[in-house]
Structure 1
């Protein structure tokens, strides 16, 4: 038997063994993990004396995930779209987790026909339907990041088309590099949109649910494209958008305008393109100002807090729990959360424009994009 280490409160082992144990998720390893992180945080708070620091960990795989749903749902499908994230089997483990949490719901992975065949076979063994699309040839924007917008549209449309054939009423669209650990999300979303009915069901059957990450408060028509839940017909309509590489030209005043265009200081990137296109299709006139953007969120959508969904994104500053969603150095947080949305829904007068300015883009003399106001 090893000696008791009084500082950690557990039996002595060499450092490597201790850290391997800490990944197992049992009570003893959790004690060790908590002890180590407390020491690290104390050191960090001494180095950064103006900050209070917290930390949150999540299980990497389903072997250490033991949460159970309190109810099941069979009238909603889950669409996970995009390339398979192979890092730590992230997409596979995500789908395995969803299958355990939503045993009665169809789950569809919409990805590419050049993905690893063995990975696809393993995913299909989870009782997940895999639908494959062929990647398009080179697009107008060449190898730039804007090409990914078309890729997202293609996998979203293919997946939604497969779900429509299943006869379900609702659909959750999410991504292969993101995960929601919270159980019972599908029933929560349904209850949410039934609690906040929409005024005109001729244009849209029910509200569309979107996450606070990443829905900026001060970016015109900036509703997130990462996660969305709604009636299947509404989801289909939202994503029934022309490919960005061709549709973006309708936003230009002439053929010589630089791409992507900037309208009223707003860069018409992916999220802005999706939301503005959808609003136009359902008959809304775009005013390209914050008041109209906020009024559209109030009228057609409901924003929910990503932390309440136990959200994790396996990309871009993933070590930060809130990423850029929380900032205390400005007068207002960048993103809209559920409390903000509820204020929109409940009040006629919102004075957000008095505490922070609209996000603004411009072009330099040589045509490069420049963010003027974040």
Structure 2
């Protein structure tokens, strides 16, 4: 099918705090909106942020402000506590998406930039489906790849990267029309004051789980340290029928806070992200796809080498690991 999506069909919702670099004072949100103007000149830009935020000199067509809400913390797998801002994301995303006047929408963090328009190629590109039981969107939504449990212990089922979603405006609005998380219901271990992700759910998990529950699909899932093969299979079926995994390089996006790191890194250099080839296998297996796949053993070999080398250095030679990590970050920033 010939792709007919142009930037005239797009609304961009830039949501969250106005992101300012602590060291340089550079306004990341302004750069995010400037990149949208550059590569999608006819698109609509909606800035969805909080009352009291300074939006001066930030390009936008519409702006909406939300009243500040209380912020809580959660302990992530690295043992450090971070602000748990899932409700902040839900509020600003939903409010911004409700203002969109175009057929398609792109919801992104306020510290992300585009360096090309290739994302336009992938809207409405994969239309086959295997079963209606797993189809919750009218069209598949484009997202960055999440972590593959076959490759890393960092993976959690129903965890979809929430940095950027691109799809039908009605689908994205439906995705964020979910209840806010009830922080009082989070489980806290004895002797601790802050809840842990492994006992509850992180932001990415909560959004997709809450949406599936709204659709009547996932009523009894709760997070824990070990997951059954049935849960992973169910998760991968929801991936195949509702999302398209595209690397940050393919989407031509980057995160300014930590350039080309985490979800924005190359899959084979990451800590275990699904590759686009792996998504295509899921699409063929569970999503009704009929894509011809040519197996590339080099991809699997490189993935295995980089992943195990990284973890080996981290545990056995931490100084070398820090030096290598620092060098990679410098290279990423120069791109």
Q: Structure 1 length as normaliser, TM-score?
A: 0.60
Which among 137, 144, 148 is matched to residue 217 of structure 1? 148
CA distance in structure 1 between the aligned counterparts of 2:97 and 2:125, rounded to whole angstroms: 22
Map 1:29-178 to 2 at 5 A.
72-87=6-21, 88-116=26-54, 120-123=55-58, 126-137=59-70, 145-163=82-100, 166=101, 168-178=102-112
> Contact 1:198 / 1:207 at 8 angstroms: preserved in 2?
no
Map 1:1-374 to 2 at 5 A.
72-87=6-21, 88-116=26-54, 120-123=55-58, 126-137=59-70, 145-163=82-100, 166=101, 168-185=102-119, 187-193=120-126, 195-196=127-128, 199-200=131-132, 203-212=136-145, 215-218=146-149, 219-244=156-181, 246=182, 249=185, 259-260=195-196, 262=198, 267-285=200-218, 289-316=231-258, 323=265, 325-327=267-269, 334-347=272-285
Q: CA RMSD for the aligned pairs? A: 3.6
The structural deviation recorded for 1:95 is 0.8
Deviations 1:203-258 (A, max 9, x none): 4211122112xx111221111111111111211111122222x1683x76999998
Give the match's secondary structure for 2:166.
strand
> Contact 2:112 / 2:256 at 8 angstroms: preserved in 1?
yes
CA distance in structure 2 between the aligned counterparts of 1:248 and 1:204, rounded to whole angstroms: 31
> Contact 1:198 / 1:300 at 8 angstroms: preserved in 2?
no
Give the match's secondary structure for 1:173.
strand
CA distance in structure 2 between the aligned counterparts of 1:203 and 1:318, rounded to whole angstroms: 31
> Contact 2:144 / 2:264 at 8 angstroms: preserved in 1?
no
Give the match's secondary structure for 2:33.
helix
CA distance in structure 1 between the aligned counterparts of 2:18 and 2:99, rounded to whole angstroms: 18
Q: Unaligned 5+ residue runs, structure 2?
A: 75-80, 150-155, 222-226, 287-299, 308-335
Q: Unaligned 5+ residue runs, structure 1?
A: 1-69, 357-374
The structural deviation recorded for 1:172 is 0.7
User: Computing the radius of gyration over CA atoms, which structure comes out larger, 1 or 2?
Assistant: 1
Give the match's secondary structure for 1:220.
coil
C-alpha spacing 1:173/1:97, structure 2 compared with 1 (3 Å): same
**2:297 paired residue number:** none
Deviations 1:303-343 (A, max 9, x none): 11221122211224657996484349xxxx61112111101
The structural deviation recorded for 1:96 is 1.6
The structural deviation recorded for 1:189 is 3.2
Q: Structure 2 length as normaliser, TM-score?
A: 0.66
> Contact 1:81 / 1:109 at 8 angstroms: preserved in 2?
yes
Aligned residue pair count: 260
CA distance in structure 2 between the aligned counterparts of 1:109 and 1:92, rounded to whole angstroms: 10
Deviations 1:238-292 (A, max 9, x none): 1122222x1683x7699999834646xxx51111111111112122136662111
CA distance in structure 1 between the aligned counterparts of 2:138 and 2:96, rounded to whole angstroms: 20
